Amino acid sequence: MKPGKVTLVSAGPGDLDLLTFRAAKAIAAADVLLIDDLVNSEIVSLAPRARAIRVGKRGGCRSTPQAFITRLMRRYAQQGRHVVRVKGGEALLFGRAGEEMSELRRAGVEVEVINGISSGFAAAAGLGVSLTHRDHCPGVIFVTAHLRDGTSPDWPALARTGMTLAIYMGASRLADIAAALSGVLPVQTPAAIVEWAGTTRERRVVATLDDIARLAGAAGIVSPAVILVGGAIGEASCDADVLQDAHELSRRA
């Protein structure tokens, strides 16, 4: 029997036109698709001969257990199938790819990774900012808002780096994050939150650390969303209607 393999495909932030050619080719060649919850459901149209299985995983929601997903990948690959694990955004960024690769390699299963566009970059593109603008910062830090044990990162230490912060999975903790960062950074430090970045559902609020949580709450911004903090975010060139919406929210709040 021909040995199977697993390909971890980065599906990008949502819209299918943000897939790479390599990702689209891998999906078309799949025997089995395991699709994450945040992946565009239309992606199955690119794999007409594959069996599609949805294995949703979202914070705060009922999710498919990680161990079950890994067993599915291993089982189908050992049956000689080409398994494509389709992950939202960039597979190697907050997607548990490390755990999956380790388990599959221990089982003797070949693993390939195809990179893609993370929602942090899509959020920056929507705002019209460079995350590493040389006038404002020496780099960017991608960080999750909650660690594996449920605790938070060391926000003051991150604030002291002078880097742009791209914070994932933090919409529900925005007020606490902003307060912690404000212990080090000026309260007028530019900040933004972008919901459904890189999709037709994208919404943005641009503000400062002292009012980002209030304005995001007034706008009804919820997960999935990316929070961006730092001087570089002050370069945002939002559309006129977005700026007007932010002004109106500020007035009401």
Query: Which residues are catalytic, by number?
Result: 36, 57, 169
DSSP-derived 3-state class of residue 12: strand
Residue ranges of alpha helices (H) inside the chain are 21-28, 66-78, 97-106, 119-127, 155-159, 174-182, 212-219, 240-252
Amino acid at 68: F
**Of 16, 20, 52, 61, which is closest to residue 34 (Cα–Cα)?**
52
Which residue is listed with tokens 């990162």? Answer: 153
Spatial distance between the Cα atoms of 205 and 243, rounded to a whole number of angstroms: 8
Please, what is the Cα angle at 158 between 152 and 162, to 5 degrees? 160
Q: Where are the beta strands (DSSP E) in the chain?
A: 5-10, 32-35, 51-54, 82-87, 110-114, 140-144, 164-168, 190-195, 203-208, 225-229
Amino acid at 186: P
Spatial distance between the Cα atoms of 250 and 253, rounded to a whole number of angstroms: 5
